[in-house]
Chains A and B, each alone.
Chain A
Amino acid sequence: GDSVTQMEGPVTLSEEAFLTINCTYTATGYPSLFWYVQYPGEGLQLLLKATKADDKGSNKGFEATYRKETTSFHLEKGSVQVSDSAVYFCALPTSASKIIFGSGTRLSIRP
Protein backbone atom coordinates (compact mmCIF):
# COMPACT_ATOMS: atom_id res chain seq x y z
CA GLY A 1 0.00 0.00 0.00
CA ASP A 2 0.87 3.67 -0.06
CA SER A 3 3.46 4.80 2.46
CA VAL A 4 5.86 7.60 3.36
CA THR A 5 9.29 7.23 4.96
CA GLN A 6 11.11 10.26 6.24
CA MET A 7 14.38 10.95 7.93
CA GLU A 8 14.26 10.46 11.66
CA GLY A 9 15.19 13.27 13.96
CA PRO A 10 15.86 15.18 15.92
CA VAL A 11 17.99 17.36 13.70
CA THR A 12 19.95 20.19 15.31
CA LEU A 13 21.67 22.81 13.17
CA SER A 14 23.26 26.18 13.65
CA GLU A 15 21.62 29.26 12.20
CA GLU A 16 22.42 29.79 8.50
CA ALA A 17 23.28 26.13 7.96
CA PHE A 18 21.98 24.16 4.98
CA LEU A 19 19.05 21.83 5.67
CA THR A 20 17.97 18.61 4.03
CA ILE A 21 15.22 16.36 5.36
CA ASN A 22 14.85 13.20 3.31
CA CYS A 23 11.49 11.77 2.28
CA THR A 24 10.69 8.81 0.07
CA TYR A 25 7.32 7.42 -0.82
CA THR A 26 5.56 4.36 -2.19
CA ALA A 27 2.36 4.98 -4.09
CA THR A 28 0.16 3.73 -6.86
CA GLY A 29 -0.19 6.27 -9.63
CA TYR A 30 1.28 9.73 -9.43
CA PRO A 31 -0.09 11.54 -6.43
CA SER A 32 0.60 15.03 -5.19
CA LEU A 33 3.17 15.33 -2.41
CA PHE A 34 3.14 17.68 0.55
CA TRP A 35 5.34 18.97 3.34
CA TYR A 36 3.49 20.07 6.45
CA VAL A 37 5.04 21.97 9.38
CA GLN A 38 3.99 22.06 13.02
CA TYR A 39 5.41 24.98 14.98
CA PRO A 40 5.51 24.73 18.78
CA GLY A 41 2.01 25.13 20.19
CA GLU A 42 0.39 25.45 16.79
CA GLY A 43 -1.55 23.25 14.40
CA LEU A 44 -0.31 21.60 11.23
CA GLN A 45 0.22 23.98 8.33
CA LEU A 46 0.86 23.17 4.71
CA LEU A 47 4.39 24.34 3.93
CA LEU A 48 4.59 23.43 0.24
CA LYS A 49 3.33 20.98 -2.30
CA ALA A 50 4.03 19.54 -5.74
CA THR A 51 1.33 18.07 -7.92
CA LYS A 52 3.29 16.16 -10.56
CA ALA A 53 6.70 14.71 -11.34
CA ASP A 54 9.56 17.22 -11.66
CA ASP A 55 7.48 19.95 -10.03
CA LYS A 56 9.24 22.02 -7.41
CA GLY A 57 7.24 23.30 -4.47
CA SER A 58 8.60 26.29 -2.59
CA ASN A 59 7.63 28.52 0.32
CA LYS A 60 9.43 30.56 3.00
CA GLY A 61 12.80 29.67 1.47
CA PHE A 62 12.08 25.93 1.59
CA GLU A 63 12.05 23.83 -1.58
CA ALA A 64 11.23 20.25 -2.49
CA THR A 65 11.34 18.61 -5.92
CA TYR A 66 9.04 15.72 -6.83
CA ARG A 67 11.36 13.07 -8.28
CA LYS A 68 9.55 10.12 -9.76
CA GLU A 69 12.70 8.19 -10.66
CA THR A 70 13.86 8.06 -7.05
CA THR A 71 10.36 8.32 -5.50
CA SER A 72 11.62 11.14 -3.34
CA PHE A 73 10.51 14.57 -2.15
CA HIS A 74 13.39 15.86 -0.03
CA LEU A 75 12.94 19.18 1.80
CA GLU A 76 15.79 21.70 1.54
CA LYS A 77 16.60 25.18 2.73
CA GLY A 78 19.79 27.03 2.04
CA SER A 79 20.05 29.02 5.25
CA VAL A 80 17.92 28.10 8.25
CA GLN A 81 16.77 30.51 10.94
CA VAL A 82 15.86 29.99 14.59
CA SER A 83 12.22 30.55 13.62
CA ASP A 84 12.34 27.41 11.45
CA SER A 85 12.49 25.25 14.57
CA ALA A 86 9.46 22.97 14.25
CA VAL A 87 8.40 19.44 13.35
CA TYR A 88 8.23 18.72 9.61
CA PHE A 89 6.03 16.04 8.07
CA CYS A 90 6.25 14.62 4.57
CA ALA A 91 2.78 13.64 3.40
CA LEU A 92 1.06 11.73 0.61
CA PRO A 93 -2.61 12.30 -0.25
CA THR A 94 -4.20 9.08 -1.41
CA SER A 95 -6.86 8.49 -4.02
CA ALA A 96 -9.25 7.97 -1.12
CA SER A 97 -8.67 11.59 -0.08
CA LYS A 98 -7.00 10.82 3.24
CA ILE A 99 -3.40 11.88 3.84
CA ILE A 100 -0.65 9.49 4.85
CA PHE A 101 1.97 11.26 6.98
CA GLY A 102 5.54 10.39 7.72
CA SER A 103 6.59 10.09 11.33
CA GLY A 104 7.90 13.66 11.45
CA THR A 105 11.35 15.20 11.85
CA ARG A 106 11.95 17.59 14.72
CA LEU A 107 14.26 20.43 13.71
CA SER A 108 16.02 22.65 16.23
CA ILE A 109 18.08 25.64 15.14
CA ARG A 110 20.75 27.07 17.45
CA PRO A 111 21.36 30.83 17.35
Chain B
Amino acid sequence: GAGVSQSPRYKVAKRGQDVALRCDPISGHVSLFWYQQALGQGPEFLTYFQNEAQLDKSGLPSDRFFAERPEGSVSTLKIQRTQQEDSAVYLCASSSGHLQETQYFGPGTRLLVL
Protein backbone atom coordinates (compact mmCIF):
# COMPACT_ATOMS: atom_id res chain seq x y z
CA GLY B 1 0.00 0.00 0.00
CA ALA B 2 0.90 3.63 -0.20
CA GLY B 3 1.20 4.25 3.51
CA VAL B 4 1.23 2.66 6.93
CA SER B 5 -2.06 1.01 7.79
CA GLN B 6 -3.37 -0.06 11.18
CA SER B 7 -6.29 -2.16 12.27
CA PRO B 8 -8.65 -1.97 13.91
CA ARG B 9 -9.10 1.79 13.90
CA TYR B 10 -11.18 1.64 17.07
CA LYS B 11 -11.31 -0.97 19.79
CA VAL B 12 -13.43 -1.10 22.91
CA ALA B 13 -12.37 -3.66 25.48
CA LYS B 14 -13.63 -4.61 28.89
CA ARG B 15 -11.05 -4.39 31.64
CA GLY B 16 -9.16 -7.66 31.82
CA GLN B 17 -9.56 -8.56 28.16
CA ASP B 18 -6.62 -9.15 25.85
CA VAL B 19 -6.32 -7.07 22.67
CA ALA B 20 -4.17 -7.30 19.55
CA LEU B 21 -3.39 -4.32 17.36
CA ARG B 22 -2.00 -4.75 13.87
CA CYS B 23 0.37 -2.60 11.84
CA ASP B 24 1.22 -2.93 8.13
CA PRO B 25 4.27 -0.77 7.39
CA ILE B 26 5.25 0.74 4.08
CA SER B 27 6.55 -2.00 1.82
CA GLY B 28 10.31 -2.37 2.11
CA HIS B 29 10.67 -0.34 5.27
CA VAL B 30 13.16 -1.96 7.59
CA SER B 31 12.33 -0.12 10.78
CA LEU B 32 9.02 -0.20 12.63
CA PHE B 33 8.04 1.72 15.74
CA TRP B 34 5.12 1.68 18.16
CA TYR B 35 4.06 4.74 20.13
CA GLN B 36 1.32 5.38 22.69
CA GLN B 37 -0.52 8.71 22.63
CA ALA B 38 -2.63 9.58 25.64
CA LEU B 39 -5.37 12.16 25.23
CA GLY B 40 -3.93 15.65 24.88
CA GLN B 41 -0.33 14.44 24.94
CA GLY B 42 2.42 13.78 22.45
CA PRO B 43 3.20 10.25 21.35
CA GLU B 44 5.51 8.28 23.62
CA PHE B 45 7.84 5.59 22.35
CA LEU B 46 7.01 1.98 23.17
CA THR B 47 9.22 -0.29 21.07
CA TYR B 48 11.31 -0.53 17.89
CA PHE B 49 12.04 -3.28 15.38
CA GLN B 50 14.67 -3.54 12.73
CA ASN B 51 13.40 -6.24 10.42
CA GLU B 52 12.23 -9.01 12.76
CA ALA B 53 14.58 -8.07 15.61
CA GLN B 54 13.14 -6.09 18.50
CA LEU B 55 16.05 -3.77 19.26
CA ASP B 56 14.46 -1.56 21.89
CA LYS B 57 11.48 -2.27 24.11
CA SER B 58 12.37 0.19 26.83
CA GLY B 59 9.10 2.11 26.46
CA LEU B 60 6.74 -0.79 27.10
CA PRO B 61 4.96 0.22 30.32
CA SER B 62 4.56 -3.26 31.79
CA ASP B 63 4.98 -6.94 31.04
CA ARG B 64 1.35 -6.95 29.89
CA PHE B 65 2.55 -5.31 26.68
CA PHE B 66 4.15 -7.48 24.03
CA ALA B 67 5.07 -6.75 20.42
CA GLU B 68 6.25 -8.96 17.61
CA ARG B 69 7.23 -8.77 13.96
CA PRO B 70 7.99 -12.37 13.07
CA GLU B 71 8.68 -11.99 9.34
CA GLY B 72 10.04 -8.48 9.38
CA SER B 73 6.93 -6.90 7.88
CA VAL B 74 3.57 -6.85 9.70
CA SER B 75 3.73 -6.19 13.42
CA THR B 76 1.29 -6.90 16.24
CA LEU B 77 1.11 -5.12 19.57
CA LYS B 78 -0.63 -7.24 22.18
CA ILE B 79 -1.92 -5.99 25.50
CA GLN B 80 -2.91 -8.60 28.04
CA ARG B 81 -5.40 -8.07 30.86
CA THR B 82 -6.17 -4.53 29.73
CA GLN B 83 -6.54 -1.79 32.34
CA GLN B 84 -8.29 1.56 32.09
CA GLU B 85 -4.95 3.37 32.00
CA ASP B 86 -4.19 1.55 28.74
CA SER B 87 -6.83 3.68 26.99
CA ALA B 88 -4.95 5.69 24.36
CA VAL B 89 -4.22 5.90 20.67
CA TYR B 90 -1.56 3.42 19.58
CA LEU B 91 0.49 4.66 16.65
CA CYS B 92 2.68 2.64 14.36
CA ALA B 93 5.42 4.19 12.21
CA SER B 94 7.90 2.84 9.72
CA SER B 95 11.08 4.13 8.12
CA SER B 96 13.71 3.06 5.66
CA GLY B 97 16.10 2.27 8.50
CA HIS B 98 18.73 4.96 8.06
CA LEU B 99 19.66 6.83 11.22
CA GLN B 100 17.22 9.65 11.98
CA GLU B 101 15.35 9.03 8.73
CA THR B 102 11.77 10.28 8.51
CA GLN B 103 9.22 8.05 10.19
CA TYR B 104 5.86 7.67 8.46
CA PHE B 105 2.91 7.22 10.77
CA GLY B 106 -0.27 5.23 10.43
CA PRO B 107 -3.69 6.59 11.44
CA GLY B 108 -3.54 4.85 14.81
CA THR B 109 -5.79 2.53 16.77
CA ARG B 110 -7.91 4.21 19.41
CA LEU B 111 -8.28 1.83 22.36
CA LEU B 112 -10.89 2.43 25.02
CA VAL B 113 -10.87 0.15 28.06
CA LEU B 114 -14.07 0.21 30.09
Residues of A near any B CB (own CB < 8 A): 31-32, 34, 36, 42-46, 49, 51, 89, 91, 93, 95-104
Partner of B100, one of A31, A43, A89, A103: A31
Q: Does B91 lie at the interface of the complex (its beta carbon under 8 Å from any beta carbon of A)?
A: yes
CB nearest neighbor in B for A46: B102
- Complex interface: chain B residues within 8 A of A93 (CB): 100, 103
Contact A99 B45 (CB under 8 A): yes
Contact B31 A97 (CB under 8 A): yes
Partner of A43, one of B48, B55, B59, B107: B107
Contact B100 A104 (CB under 8 A): no
Contact A97 B99 (CB under 8 A): yes
- Complex interface: chain B residues within 8 A of A97 (CB): 31, 33, 48, 55-56, 95, 99-100
Contact B43 A44 (CB under 8 A): yes
Contact A98 B59 (CB under 8 A): yes
CB nearest neighbor in A for B102: A46
Contact B103 A99 (CB under 8 A): yes
